Amino acid sequence: MKKFFVSVGLAAAGTASLHAAYVPDANAMDSSKLWNISGTLRGFYDDNYTTSGDSPGSFGFEVSPEIEANVPLQQTELGARYTYALFYYQDRAQTSQDPIDQTHQLDLWLDHAFTERVQGRIQDSFVVGQEPELLDQLHSTVARADGNNIVNSASFSLNTDWTRLFSTGLSYNNSFSDYENSGTTLADLESGGAPSLAGALNRLDNSVALNFQWHAAPEMMFQVGYQYDQVNYTGDEPIVAPVEILNPITLAVIRTIPERFSDSRDNRSHAVYLGTEWAILPNLNLSGNVGVQYTDYYNDPAGESSSLGPYAVLSLTYTYMTGCYAQLGFTHARNATDEVDVNTKTGSIALDQESSLIYGSINQQITPKLQGSLIWDFQDATFNGGANNNESDLEFDAGVNFNYIFSPHFSGDVGYNYDNVTSDISGRSYSRNRVYVGLTATY
């Protein structure tokens, strides 16, 4: 079964969580066993662990145990995976800060074939962490978020083959974000403070999609689909103080827009698209959807606004040798942002961002025991509304990893991750380098 999994460890930090399309998991455990357990110990150096423009570096170590269970039944497969990671930063200990970060990830999945023509899938991923790439596929915040921040993503899909040529795909997705940083008051905002991450980013996202699929050939399927998405911000905190709109000539107050709360950025969207799943060659696969998306921001007291833009999710995977593959992908979608600036001339606030993400990866089996991987992505995220309307965050991430198998139960790896954020907003830009080396025991 294909299972999408985001590793919380350094080997995947910075890039892996961006890939919504399936990528063969080079580090997957033995699926022939009912259960697997592993433990990883890594030493690392991080030259910008606060993800800021001027940050000290730190040596440290990571301890990460993992356990996975698979239960294959006649028509059903059940699975669960839990990964814990502890990161110790030496520099923080020397400066009387808490030196320890902890992350958790629990993945659950259930695949069931009701009949030969009807198959269903349920999956859930629960994450507690601090790194932006772990908490959000399209980064709602470009910087590290202190604390135990929670993201849960669940989905259900039902695929039905009505005839040999026609099928439907019905899916439902739910995601929940809860950030620990909270408690901003209106007085804080009036004195020049910024909204909390909870006020700006806590949200509940529900979407449902229906695809009508035509199987033109055994290796080619085309579809037309519709998706409805509802985003409700749940922070229940003020995010912008009252704004007085002035006459540009007389400077008289034309109107006063009251304070905005978290739910001022609630929105609903409709997307229609055309898509395909096409095995161009036995080892070359194309999948994706391309269309348009209409978004309605119906709850902003500054005035209801809307946006019409492109929608795309594309992935091309090439398996060129046994154990070797390459992937190229592109996503264009709207995403939440931690920036909640206000345009004092119009009263508009930053409602979200429109992001284009291109990513790629190469996995190479160098020798029977040595495997190398390269993974990268580039994201252009443009602000919608507010004082920085049409300004952008540009982010580039890359990682290289080499894994050597000493025996069936022991392996070692070494790697390097690079992150660079260039923002039109002052104070958001930074670069970051991380190197690590480690050992993994698996049973």
Q: Which tokens is 413 given?
A: 């790896």
pLDDT over 90 at 392, yes or no:
yes
Q: Where are the domains of the chain?
A: 16-442
The whole-number pLDDT of residue 63 equals 97
Give the whole-angstrom CA distance, residue 340 versus residue 195: 7
Amino acid symbol at 99: P
Condensed to tens digits (0 to 9), the pLDDT of residues 253-288 reads 777 888 899 999 999 999 999 999 999 999 999 999
Give the whole-angstrom CA distance, residue 60 versus residue 93: 10
Containing H/E element for 364?
strand 352-365
Q: Which ranges constitute the DSSP H helices of 180-241?
A: 186-190, 197-201
Residue 335 or residue 26, greater confidence: 335
What is the DSSP secondary structure assignment for residue 202, as one 8-state letter? -
Give the whole-angstrom CA distance, residue 114 versus residue 71: 17
What pTM was estimated for this model as a whole?
Answer: 0.88
Domain 16-442, CATH number (from 3.40.50, 3.30.720, 2.40.160, 1.10.1760):
2.40.160
3-state SS, residue 134? helix
Q: What mean pLDDT is predicted for residues 314-320?
A: 96
Give the whole-angstrom CA distance, residue 141 versus residue 132: 6
Average pLDDT, whole number, for the chain?
90
Which residues neighbour 163 within 8 Å (Cβ) at sequence distance 6 or greater?
Answer: none
pLDDT over 80 at 245, yes or no:
no
Condensed to tens digits (0 to 9), the pLDDT of residues 356-380 reads 999 999 999 999 999 999 999 999 9
- Are 294 and 263 contacting, i.e. CB atoms less than 8 angstroms apart? no
Residue 52 banded pLDDT, cuts 50, 70, 90: confident
The whole-number pLDDT of residue 54 equals 79
Share of the chain above pLDDT 70, in %: 93
Which residues neighbour 410 within 8 Å (Cβ) at sequence distance 6 or greater?
Answer: 439, 440, 441, 442
Q: Which tokens is 78 given?
A: 């059940």
The whole-number pLDDT of residue 19 equals 36
